[in-house]
Amino acid sequence: MRAAVIPVTPLQQNCSLVWCENTMKAALVDPGGEVDRLKAAVDEAGVTLEKILVTHGHLDHAGAVADLAEEFGLPIEGPHPEDKFWIDQLPTQGREYGFGELRAFTPDRWLDQGDTCTVGEQTFEVLHCPGHTPGHVVFFHAGERVAFVGDVIFQGAIGRSDFPRGDFDTLIRSIRENLFPLGDDVTFVPGHGPLSTFGHERESNPYVADRLFARNTG
């Protein structure tokens, strides 16, 4: 598997182009905007899009999904159905936040914990990681030891939990109980900012580092 990160929208959201080197079939993970830039990246990689993967329904992650799906005839997979209310708000939020005319959509496949998604011959495991949004999912490639985590966790930070139906404690559990057990060596691509590893965040992240949860046995 190969991947390229393409920051889009004024919020510099990390859209990822992932593809299978054997088949050259590809998917866009969280195409939030700047359709022409994403199309250029696809052309430069010489790949064929076969689907769109969505971690959650916020406009900077899902704003271009409907347009790309329609133009290329692509199926949409994700997020979890608990994020439907966010997707339904895309037209209103696009106008309110200066993103222009965004379109809502209905995924061809809603996702849940334990599902898998394929891109060419590559397989991604799906983890339901609520807290930032209630229907947030993460895509994990076990062979490559890489996870596309949307806005669950960042280098040195975690996602906001003050949005409607967000919850701080739920977000912490998602990270520590669903993501960290994948392994310290796993590199993750966050929705914003630089890549990191779960091991690094376990050591140093001011919100989810192990030391913050160590029980006092003295």
Residue 188 covered by a domain: yes
How many CB atoms are located within 10 Å of the residue 56 CB?
28
pLDDT in tens, 120-179: 999 999 999 999 999 999 999 999 999 999 999 999 999 999 999 999 999 999 999 999
Please, which pLDDT band fits residue 91 given cuts at 50, 70 and 90?
A: very high
Q: Is 60 part of a structural domain of the chain?
A: yes
Domain assignment present for 80: yes
pLDDT at site 218: 43
In a domain, 197, yes or no: yes
The pLDDT score that the predictor gives to residue 216 is: 47
Output the domain CATH number for residue 95.
3.60.15.10
Per the structure, the complete domain to which residue 209 belongs is given by: 2-213
- In sign, the C-alpha dihedral spanning 207, 210, 211, 217 is positive
Total of domains in the chain: 1
Residue 218 lies in a domain: no
- What 8-state DSSP symbol labels residue 179? I
Assess whether pLDDT exceeds 90 at residue 215. no
Q: What is the reported pLDDT for 214? A: 86
**8-56 pLDDT, tens digit each:** 999 999 999 999 999 999 999 999 999 999 999 999 999 999 999 999 9
State the average pLDDT over residues 91-117: 95
DSSP class per residue in 84-153:
HHHHHTHHHHHHHTT--S------SB---TT-EEEETTEEEEEEE--SSSTT-EEEEETTTTEEEEETSE
Candidates 189, 164, 16; CA nearest to 93 is 164
pLDDT of residue 100: 87
Question: What is the distance between the alpha carbons of residues 172 and 198, in angstroms, rounded to a whole number?
Answer: 13
Note whether residue 74 is domain-resident. Answer: yes
- pLDDT tens for 178-213 read 999 999 999 999 999 999 999 999 999 999 999 999
pTM of the model: 0.97
Q: Is 96 contained in some domain?
A: yes
In a domain, 142, yes or no: yes
Q: What is the mean predicted confidence (pLDDT) over 49-65?
A: 98
Angle of helix 65-72 relative to helix 35-45, nearest 10 degrees? 50
Region of 168 (left: φ > 0; alpha: ψ -120 to 50; beta: rest) is alpha
